């Protein structure tokens, strides 16, 4: 069971690395951010609950996020493993994940801690561009698409996420330090944490992760 948690601040490269891993290991990426954005777009009850928190760069309440992850992990494609990207983000979420994995007979194998200099995160997030068609991520400077504003993989126009604005980013980084960074201590004694230096080339970071997993 290859259950993996990608832990790291907004902009650390969780989504970028998760997308590469999901292909190589044939296990799904479970991104709570992507699922919440899809719910907002579809205008569901869940989306309505989550929108204001997301717009402000705050965290969506634990019970809401825990509910969606619990349902998602029970789906058949998570049978061989899964990559959690952006969950857990609080201690109560980590505790809930422990309960849920146990109930479902699943196990977290590695907690990959993506470590990036705090000063780099703002630049990464301000320059991030996202494909609304296939979810691929780009960066105007560090990982530009071949044709400006267009996804290499599916040709859809790229957008800048509403919450990738300086003021909202500041809130998200503050929330990370307050609510999510303590998870490193939570997992410290489990023997599952692996530090990954996540500055530098995307492919070099990916290679370092694969080395840990194999």
Active site amino acids? 14, 89, 128, 161, 172
Return the percent helix, strand and coil in the chain, to nearest 5.
Answer: 50, 20, 35
Contact 203, 15 (CB under 8 A): no
**Residue with token string 């780099």:** 120
Q: 172 touches which of Zn ion, ligand ADP, none (CB within 5 to 8 A by kind)?
A: ligand ADP
# of chain residues touching ligand ADP (CB under 6 A): 35
CA atoms of 74 and 70, how far apart (whole Å): 7
CA atoms of 208 and 9, how far apart (whole Å): 19
Does residue 135 interact with ligand ADP by CB under 6 A? no
Q: Compute the C-alpha angle 51/163/166, nearest 5°.
A: 145
Q: Which is nearer to ligand ADP, 27 or 40 (CB)?
A: 40
**Which one of residues 38, 202, 208, 210 is an interface residue with ligand ADP (CB under 6 A)?**
202
Does residue 106 interact with ligand ADP by CB under 6 A? no
Q: Which segments of the chain does DSSP mark as H helices, in order? A: 14-25, 32-42, 45-55, 62-73, 91-104, 118-126, 166-175, 183-188, 202-213
**Which one of residues 5, 7, 14, 209 is an interface residue with ligand ADP (CB under 6 A)?**
14
In the complex, which residues of this chain contact ligand ADP (CB under 6 A)?
A: 8, 10-16, 32-33, 36, 53-54, 57-60, 65, 86-87, 89, 93, 124, 127-128, 137-139, 142-143, 163, 172, 200, 202, 205
In the complex, which residues of this chain contact Zn ion (CB under 5 A)?
A: 131, 133-134, 136, 151, 153-154, 156
């Amino acid at each position: 069971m290859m259950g993996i948690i990608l832990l790291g601040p907004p902009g650390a490269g969780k989504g970028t690395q998760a997308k590469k891993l999901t292909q190589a290991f044939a296990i799904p990426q479970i991104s709570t951010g992507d699922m919440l954005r899809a719910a907002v777009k579809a205008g569901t009850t869940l989306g309505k609950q989550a929108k204001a928190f997301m717009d402000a760069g705050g965290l969506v309440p634990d019970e809401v996020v825990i509910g969606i992850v619990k349902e998602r992990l029970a789906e058949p494609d998570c049978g061989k493993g899964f990559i959690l990207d952006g969950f857990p983000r609080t201690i109560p979420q980590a505790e809930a994940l422990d309960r849920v994995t146990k109930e479902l007979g699943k196990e977290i194998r590695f907690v990959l801690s993506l470590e990036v200099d705090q000063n780099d995160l703002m630049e990464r997030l301000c320059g991030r561009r996202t494909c609304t068609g296939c979810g691929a991520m780009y960066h105007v400077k560090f990982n530009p698409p071949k044709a400006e504003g267009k996804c290499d993989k599916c040709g859809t126009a790229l957008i800048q996420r509403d919450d990738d604005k300086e003021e909202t980013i500041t809130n998200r980084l503050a929330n990370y330090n307050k609510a999510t960074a303590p998870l490193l201590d939570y997992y410290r004694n489990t023997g599952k944490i692996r530090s990954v230096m996540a500055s530098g080339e995307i492919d070099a970071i990916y290679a370092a992760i694969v080395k840990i997993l194999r």
